[in-house]
Chain A
């Protein structure tokens, strides 16, 4: 009896019965690198973004990290160049200027009244620029990120995965697959072709869901929580893009494929040189690009807005739209089919494998950039994934659906032509 109990407890000890900490995974491109190079990437990613358990709010990124008030509890070794500073705050750290003197609050302002730090965790933050005194009130950066993580882990992680790679535990059962954020590409946006999604775009998708897919509406969440999830998703997308930006220049020299690998010592030396001379520049460029790309999405100039208002729907407009749909200029029917059923000839063709131009797939169908076979929308079903307002359908045609074979027609079609197409698309489910 005792022996059995002992055995069971040993098994439990061996397997572990506690919660396993969430971990960010590396992209497949990173995993093709040599082990040492992978370590460099992992280290750099951890420095810039942290782990799910200990997030890093990197100020170079255009993310609204949010702040929380804290009190400096202990300043250790103030003479050293990098000062170690403990503050009562929360379980996050920050890169760059992590901890800032508390901004002066206007008297009588209720909103900025200091709040008690919820979790009195001691954190240690290296501070390079500012000096702090014990007992000083400071603002810790990262509150939105921390809340966003908690909400993301509760509501989103089982499909979209810890790293936002669209590969959570339930993802394998879903068609279409959950979005992989790591390319920074999101399908349903209000922005122009090459621009990232705006905060409002992500907010809209979370709030209203994507009809016709497994993405449900999260209208039950309060506004501030939805905003925090949006920030966290943007941050995860930036993390994925950042990884790619670092890994791509490494691919030629530090691949894990033994044929291309030079002698081990040479490789180690090259990696060291890369790390010391190339990586800092790479990091700076990547951060700058991310900052530019994601800030551009918030720029109103990059929002797609029709120049002319919608042509009132009528038999003439619908007929013009139908001719465009079937015609050579827009070629809608080649994917969506003559009747709009999403069964055009190209869905039966052998197309290029995404990311490998010239290599034909051995299965017929259209691919999205994430490598999944996807179906063109069946327009007879009256389901509009990206929203059913005329402006939504206009944007789908004008700037395409990012990451899919649905291309942008903004430059080839005039506004009037797009509106005719919109009217025709609206009429399809109701015409028999």
Chain B
């Protein structure tokens, strides 16, 4: 009966070890494998923290179990009273502090390549201006073969909610908001960036594989927040150019050509 508590506390590290080992393979931590190189690095950071936390959690539980187990056989011995230990205090202050310092230094590369302009990939191309609005994503694209201009051009293409990007090359979007704060979130790409009214925030990402990803708003922006679901289509360069050409055709439809089908 007395062994209940030591066993109880020793049970959890065992469960934790099992979970920590199988969770990544079962995809329990993330919505899907990261679909971008940067996302992979971000995942690695998560795993690093996971290992540190796991070791700490298991270690403390083993210590706790050990103390409880020892306490079972104390008998009627005299209690020993401690007034604290300076060296122990130093130990458990410096150890976590150095772990935190390590993490903060270690993640700096990833952070800089995501957020600091001078560390962006050299060949990143701006492909679209995404303007968040209650409750949709309005997207402005350059005409096929042209570069995205910060100022709207006469031949720009416009679409809503569906963002097409070429696979395997770093692309950049200019993120804006027309009304309140929104947040551009593509879970599969591990991209999350607030859209702040009055500013244009560059966000770069690279899709490493073809696919269709959810684009959601992750800043509660009003009653229709749930409606702000878009899609990111990652497609080959040829498909992407084709998409732009079709979009341009659709947008130049004057009612006399024969292809209205593209509009629906």
Contact = CB atoms under 8 A, between A and B. Distances in A.
Is the interface on chain B under 10, 10 to 19, 20 to 34, or 35 or more residues?
Answer: 20 to 34
Interface in A379-429: 382, 388-391, 394-395, 426-427, 429
B136 A209 contact: yes
B254 A390 contact: yes
B57 interface: no
B19 to A, nearest CB: 35
A126 interface: no
A359 B151 CA distance: 46
A211 B152 CA distance: 16
A382 B256 contact: no
Contacts of A158: 223
Nearest to A384: B158
Contacts of A382: 152
A390 B154 contact: no
A391 B135 contact: no
A203 B161 CA distance: 16
Interface in A337-378: none
Is the interface on chain A under 10, 10 to 19, 20 to 34, or 35 or more residues?
Answer: 20 to 34
Nearest to B222: A170
B161 A389 contact: no
B263 A430 contact: no
B136 A309 contact: no
A7 to B, nearest CB: 34
A27 interface: no
B227 A391 contact: no
Contact of A390 (B153, B160, B223, B255): B255
Given A200-B264, A208-B160, A217-B161, A388 B251 contact: yes
A394 B134 contact: no
A158 B136 CA distance: 17
Contact of B254 (A204, A218, A310, A388): A310
A253 to B, nearest CB: 44
Contacts of A216: 133-136, 224, 227
B153 A430 contact: yes
B141 to A, nearest CB: 13
B256 A306 contact: yes
Contact of B255 (A218, A219, A305, A427): A305
Contact of B253 (A204, A208, A304, A389): A389
B194 interface: no
B227 A220 contact: yes
B154 A430 contact: yes
Interface string B140-171: 00000000000011100010111000000000
B129 to A, nearest CB: 12
Nearest to A307: B256
B154 A426 contact: yes
A277 interface: no
A304 B255 CA distance: 9
Residue picked from B154, B230, B256, B264, most chain A C-beta under 10 Å: B256
B66 to A, nearest CB: 50
A388 B136 contact: no
A305 B254 CA distance: 8
Contacts of A28: none
A219 B254 contact: no
B246 to A, nearest CB: 13
A427 B224 CA distance: 34
B138 interface: yes
B107 interface: no
Given A388-B251, A390-B255, A429-B152, 7 more contacts: A209-B160, A211-B138, A217-B160, A219-B136, A309-B257, A429-B154, A430-B153
24 contacts: A203-B264, A208-B160, A216-B134, A216-B136, A216-B227, A217-B136, A219-B136, A219-B230, A220-B229, A220-B230, A305-B256, A306-B256, A307-B256, A309-B254, A309-B256, A310-B254, A382-B152, A389-B253, A389-B263, A390-B252, A390-B253, A394-B255, A426-B154, A430-B153
